[in-house]
Amino acid sequence: MKRSVTAVLVAALGMMLASCGWLDRKLDERRDWQAADWYRAAKEELDNGNWLGAVKLYEQLESKFPYGRFAQQAQLDSAYAYYKEGETAQSIAALDRFIKAYPNHQNLDYALYLKALANFKEDLGPLAGFLGGQDLADRDPKAARESFEMFKELVNRFPDSRYAEDSRARMDLLVDALARHELHVARYYLRRGAWLSAVNRSQDILVRFPGSPVRREALEILVEGYDRMGLPELRDDAKKVLARNYPADPLAAEGRNRKRWWQFW
């Protein structure tokens, strides 16, 4: 029994020494690496989905070779790796450094695109409104607004970019989500009897998101809010706009100024 235990320990020690020898050889090999070698190794980890392993190699590349095209690309690739790992704060920080350091870089459109995705924390696809079973309008709108502004900057500055078409589609999704978020808030104020706040939110929807599908309900809230506040002229003006755009709407009828909102929630 003692011999077998000793044999196991000796074998384990041998494996450890062999491992150390392999590590030493690996370190010796990397001593002579140039920027291209570090980048190649990091890119291999990135392609294999080893995001954090790639980031470590990119960081070593930047520390050893802080200038040149490999260091620049390393910053972009690190940001992408952080994004894929779910470390959005680190991704945004890396992109901010890149955008500040290289404001005229040929890949600046990609940096803006990736920052827009990272700001929103999710890769918005055609079914983005139902990611995780959660409506985007129920999320914190701050991230959506920041994401929208990044996509907007990309489209305005680089209208012919390969990322422009996808950015426009994502902007449409974000506009819809932001408008519906404002509508949720307007509904909340209406239920609480905060008529002025409900009216202000509805007006905001009409001004900022004129093409949104929620425009109709925003007008309905406007009609009821003004009616509740005893402002018949403003109420009637809102009713005229509602009737002109949605003639079949019940609130557009003469004498109808309020809706049984609780039936719809």
Give pLDDT, residue 141: 79
Token representation of residue 217:
């309900």
Contacts for 95 with CB less than 8 Å, ≥ 6 apart:
76, 79, 111, 114, 115, 118
Token representation of residue 114:
């990736």
Q: Is residue 80 part of a domain?
A: yes
pTM to 2 decimal places: 0.71
pLDDT tens digits for 9-30? Answer: 555 555 555 455 544 555 557 7
Do residue 187 and residue 113 come from a single domain?
yes
Q: Is residue 131 part of a domain?
A: yes
Residue 253 confidence class, pLDDT cut points 50, 70, 90: confident
Do residue 98 and residue 110 come from a single domain?
no
HEC states along the chain?
A: CHHHHHHHHHHHHHHHHHHHHHHHHHHHHHHCCCHHHHHHHHHHHHHCCCHHHHHHHHHHHHHHCCCCHHHHHHHHHHHHHHHHHCCHHHHHHHHHHHHHHCCCCCCHHHHHHHHHHHHHCCCCCCCHHHHHHCCHHHCCHHHHHHHHHHHHHHHHHCCCCCCHHHHHHHHHHHHHHHHHHHHHHHHHHHHHCCHHHHHHHHHHHHHHCCCCCCHHHHHHHHHHHHHHCCCHHHHHHHHHHHHHHCCCCHHHCCCCCCCCHHHHC
Do residue 185 and residue 200 come from a single domain?
no
Cα–Cα distance measured from residue 58 to residue 61, given in angstroms and rounded to the nearest whole number: 5
Q: Is residue 23 part of a domain?
A: no
Which range marks the domain in which residue 219 is found?
Answer: 193-265
Q: Is residue 63 part of a domain?
A: yes
Give pLDDT, residue 262: 40
Q: Give the count of domains, the chain.
A: 3
pLDDT tens digits for 103-124? Answer: 999 999 999 999 999 987 654 4
